[in-house]
Amino acid sequence: MVAEGLDKKPVDWISKLTWPLFMVTNDSVGSMSVAQSFQNLGLVDYIGGIRQNNPSLLDVSVLAAFWAVVTSLGDNNVMVILDNHISKPGWCCSNRDGNGFFGDPYFDPNLWIKGLTRMATLFHRVGNVVGMSLRNELRGPKENLRDWLRVSVTGKLVFELHWYAYSSGTIWEDGNANERCKDAMDKVMSKAGFILNQGMPLFVSEFGGELSGQNVNDNRYFNCFFRVAAKLDFDWALWTIVGSYYLRKGIVGMDETFGVLNKDFSGPRNASFLQRISALQAPFQGATSSNPTRRIIFHPLTGLCIQRKPEQEQLQLGACNESEAWTHTHRHTVRMRGTDLCMQADRLEKPVKLSTNCADHGSRWKTISESNMHFSSNIVGSNVTVCLDIDFSTKTVIASPCKCLREDST
């Protein structure tokens, strides 16, 4: 019930918090002090850290501490979606934890509505609270379509999607990454993404993976996710910022390998991931983007975009908010908008250049591979097929032989 990390950093650092239903429907739970909640779990070693970093929270109720974290996030211009994960406080989730579906031991629908109403009333006038996740991942042996369809919500409704690498098992490790990406995208679109085509909003309220960089399954999934997130421009929330937990599955101080922060909350677990994800924090489409009709060329592996090198006819990766706008014409040329310049593959393993000669087949580009993440052309004056690639030592865009188009699992 208490936000993670209060023993390690002041409340201004904290932004991961979910809430159990009993916190607002059971007075003995909601009125319990923060100190008492730790004592009840035998976690007295954390009390000293909270006294040092957040002394004002130690003796207030867990509900008051929750309020303090939400309002602190508002003071730091962070929006909050109140996320009801479970009813009985504990780690979520399993199919048989009693919290999964209507009629489970800890999931009384009437009590659920009562709790949602109380939480909505409590935070009604808190400006940074922008929404409420009604319940996390309905599941379990009692789940059925009939009861799903009985749930009726009106008003400002947003659909939610959770998408992880393990949503598709370990498929990313075994096959061609581009083919696996298409399979995963097709599955996501058939189960959730289709509502975007019906004009309804979709919020990816959980995604994430191991940030060590050593997990092949998660690494390949991230490339695919970033591609889809940039194209569809949906809102998202990353699981998770926290570096460790007070108690998870019986383990005290358990490391969170998905966490943006390291185990002691002293810094980022993976600084390059923060750079990579920053591009997705700004909208690419819609009325709030800097230019709703502006097209960019996004590189999912780095989170950067193609831009012109200063005073040169070459291209490089750089910040997406500083990228030129591009147009992919019906003749398959890729033109820098507002100029006569187009991308041209001039020589193998050499920089792609900007040219005014846009009639040569070296200036015609098509998306290939199952994932459509390869941009392909031919070297000027030859039939050698190449794809856009990156010289990572200089971040220069070059023309290289196309790799991993199909079957290859490396």
Question: What's the pLDDT score for residue 206?
Answer: 96
Higher pLDDT among residues 188 and 311, named by residue: 188
Residue 62 near residue 6 (C-beta atoms within 8 A): no
Residues in the chain: 410
Phi-psi region of 98 (alpha: psi -120 to 50; beta: other; left: phi over 0): left
Residues 206, 344: Cα–Cα separation, whole Å: 39
Of 361, 362, 343, nearest to 353 by C-alpha is: 343
Average pLDDT of the chain, as a whole number: 91
Residue 145 near residue 113 (C-beta atoms within 8 A): no
CATH 3.40.50.2300 fits 11-281, yes or no: no
Q: At what angle do helices 177-191 and 216-232 cross, to 10 degrees?
A: 50
Residue 46 near residue 4 (C-beta atoms within 8 A): no
Note the pLDDT tens digit of each residue in 243-276: 999 999 899 999 999 999 999 999 999 999 998 9
Question: What's the pLDDT score for residue 108?
Answer: 96
Over residues 84-101, mean pLDDT = 93
pLDDT at 287 over 60: no
Of 351, 353, 399, nearest to 379 by C-alpha is: 399
**Per-residue confidence at 155, pLDDT binned at 50, 70, 90?**
confident
Residues 57, 50: Cα–Cα separation, whole Å: 8
Residue 230 near residue 372 (C-beta atoms within 8 A): no
Over residues 181-210, mean pLDDT = 93
Residues 186, 181: Cα–Cα separation, whole Å: 8
Task: Look at the alpha carbons of 315, 321, 326, 328 in this order and tell me if their dihedral is positive or negative.
Answer: positive
Q: Give 2-58 as a DSSP string.
A: PPTTTTTS-GGG-----B-THHHH-HHHHTSBHHHHHHHTT-THHHHHHHHH-GGGT
Question: What's the pLDDT score for residue 312?
Answer: 87
For strands 353-355 and 342-344, give the pairing.
antiparallel
Neighbouring C-beta atoms of residue 137, cutoff 10 Å:
15
Residue 278 near residue 258 (C-beta atoms within 8 A): no
Over residues 63-82, mean pLDDT = 94
Cβ neighbors of 388 (< 8 A, separation 6 or more) are 297, 306, 352, 365, 374, 375, 397, 398, 399
33 forms beta bridges with: 61
Of 300, 316, 317, 333, nearest to 220 by C-alpha is: 300
pLDDT at 292 over 50: no
- pLDDT above 90 covers a percentage of the chain that reads 75
**Residue where the block lists tokens 């996710």:** 225
- For the domain made up of 298-401, give the CATH fold: Trefoil (Acidic Fibroblast Growth Factor, subunit A) (2.80.10)
Percentage helix, strand, coil, to 5, in the chain?
Answer: 30, 20, 50
pLDDT at 293 over 80: no
Token pair belonging to 140: 């379990």
Domains 11-281 and 298-401 share a fold: no
pTM: 0.91
Question: What's the pLDDT score for residue 16?
Answer: 63
Over residues 12-28, mean pLDDT = 87
Residues 5, 14: Cα–Cα separation, whole Å: 7
Question: What's the pLDDT score for residue 286?
Answer: 57
Residues 389, 141: Cα–Cα separation, whole Å: 48
pLDDT at 225 over 70: yes
106 forms beta bridges with: none
Residues 220, 180: Cα–Cα separation, whole Å: 9
Question: What's the pLDDT score for residue 409?
Answer: 57
Question: What's the pLDDT score for residue 410?
Answer: 58
Over residues 354-367, mean pLDDT = 91
What residue spans define the domains of the chain? Answer: 11-281, 298-401
Question: What's the pLDDT score for residue 149?
Answer: 78
Task: Convert 216-255 to b/e letters by CB count within 10 Å (16 or more is b).
Answer: ebbbbbbbbbbbbbbebbbbbbbbbbbbbbbbeeeeeeee
Question: What's the pLDDT score for residue 291?
Answer: 52
Cα dist from 362 to 175, 333, 336, 346, 378, whole Å: 31, 9, 16, 7, 5
Note the pLDDT tens digit of each residue in 300-331: 999 999 999 988 899 999 999 899 999 999 99
Over residues 10-36, mean pLDDT = 90
Token pair belonging to 88: 């009985």
Residue 181 identity: C
Over residues 27-48, mean pLDDT = 96
**Per-residue confidence at 294, pLDDT binned at 50, 70, 90?**
low
